[in-house]
Amino acid sequence: MCGGCVQKEYPDRGSTCLENGSYLLNYVGCAKCNQRDFVMIDNRVTEDDDGEEIVTYDHVCKNCHHIIARHEYTFSVVDEYQEYTMLCMLCGKAEDSISVLPDDPRQTAPLF
C-alpha cells in the first residue's frame, strides 16, 4: 500500500461503504510511474465466514500495476440489523447499520 498515491490516508467516509469501485477524488496519481490514470481492481476475493461476507481486493495503477491500496468490505446481519464496514487507504473507513424491519426501531419517536 502506498501513502504517496493518495491525498489523505483512510479518510472518514461516514456511512458510505463501497463493496466495489474506487474513491478517485482521493487519488493523486501513481507514486511509482507518476501517471494519473484509471485505477484497476485486482485480486478480488469474496469469502463467507460464519455468516459474514468479506470482500477484499487491490487498487492497482493501470499503467505500471503498482498496488495503491488494499480494500476490505464486510457485510453481516446482527440481530435485526444489516452491518456494513469498509477499510481502505484510498476509499477510507466507514460503518453503516440498517434495520431489516420496515420501520427502524431506532428512528421511532418516544410516545411520551
For 83-106, how does the pLDDT look when each residue is reduced to its tens digit (9 = 90+)?
999 999 999 999 998 887 666 656
Q: Is the pLDDT of residue 17 over 70?
A: yes
Strand-pairing partners, residue 53, are: 48, 75
Q: How many CB atoms lie within 10 A of CB 25?
A: 8
Closest CA to 97 of 70, 72, 67, 74: 74
In CATH, the architecture of 3-99 is Sandwich (2.60)
Per-residue pLDDT, 39: 94
Name the pTM for this structure. 0.85
In whole angstroms, what is the distance from residue 8 CA to residue 18 CA? 17
What are the structural domain ranges in the chain? Answer: 3-99
Closest alpha carbon to 19 in 52, 50, 46, 55: 55
